[in-house]
Amino acid sequence: MWSFMEKNPSVFVSEYSEGMKRVLEGDYAFLMESTMLDYMVQRDCNLTQIGGLLDNKGYGIATPMDNSMDI
């Protein structure tokens, strides 16, 4: 798949909205991270996730040492 994508740079998009538009127009699959994918699929019933996750990663939050915010 990566070899095909490298040879056809027109398959890449720079924004989620562009990827979603191409999916809805047909004949295009959009690979994206799961949190945004879940959000997009819940907001548009014309979208669906096919298959499972390719990878699983967590999120981290960094704050200054003197931060008074409770996390």
What's the mean per-residue pLDDT of the chain? 88
What is the domain partition of the chain in residue ranges?
1-43
Structure confidence by residue, pLDDT tens digits, 24-57: 999 999 998 888 999 999 999 999 998 888 888 7
First CA to last CA distance, the chain: 41
Write out the two tokens for 66.
């003197």
Higher pLDDT residue, 20 or 34?
A: 20
The pTM is what?
Answer: 0.67
The model's confidence at residue 71, banded by pLDDT at 50, 70 and 90, is low
The model's confidence at residue 64, banded by pLDDT at 50, 70 and 90, is confident
Question: Would you report the helix, strand and coil content of the chain in percent, each value rounded to 5?
Answer: 40, 0, 60
